Amino acid sequence: EAGVTQSPTHLIKTRGQQATLRCSPISGHTSVYWYQQALGLGLQFLLWYDEGEERNRGNFPPRFSGRQFPNYSSELNVNALELEDSALYLCASNLWASDTQYFGPGTRLTVL
């Protein structure tokens, strides 16, 4: 069974640009979660999507947004990139909110 996949693996952008990160959940999983892992800050919850709806949001500014498609894949968009947005962005999926979350390999975003 294929795990959670994310693309691209690496992404380099400059300040002020927009970044789009993609995630495909494990087959059959309907919930997708996004986390940011910045150096020295640990994993911080960003967003939770289930059945196409945003269910919960972490303490991040509105320029972090996303969506979930009918096939349950998801996109994370970061607008007006800032240097401190440089981090590993991780996507996770599960069947329902209380189920174990399974993580993808992440997208390394570097903002220059």
Partner 1 sequence: TQLLEQSPQFLSIQEGENLTVYCNSSSVFSSLQWYRQEPGEGPVLLVTVVTGGEVKKLKRLTFQFGDARKDSSLHITAAQPGDTGLYLCAGDNQGGKLIFGQGTELSVKP
Q: Please report whether residue 42 would count as binding partner 1 according to CB under 8 A.
A: yes
- Contact between 78 and 63 under an 8 Å Cβ cutoff? The reply is yes
- Contact between 38 and 84 under an 8 Å Cβ cutoff? The reply is yes
Q: Please report whether residue 71 would count as binding partner 1 according to CB under 8 A.
A: no
Q: Please report whether residue 108 would count as binding partner 1 according to CB under 8 A.
A: yes
Nearest 5°: the CA angle 86, 87, 88 is 145
Among 48, 81, 85, 87, binds partner 1 (CB under 8 A): 48
Q: Kindly report the number of other CB atoms within 10 A of residue 32's CB atom.
A: 29
Interacting residues with partner 1 (CB under 8 A)? 4, 31, 33, 35, 42-45, 48, 50, 55-56, 58, 88, 90, 92, 97-98, 100-106, 108
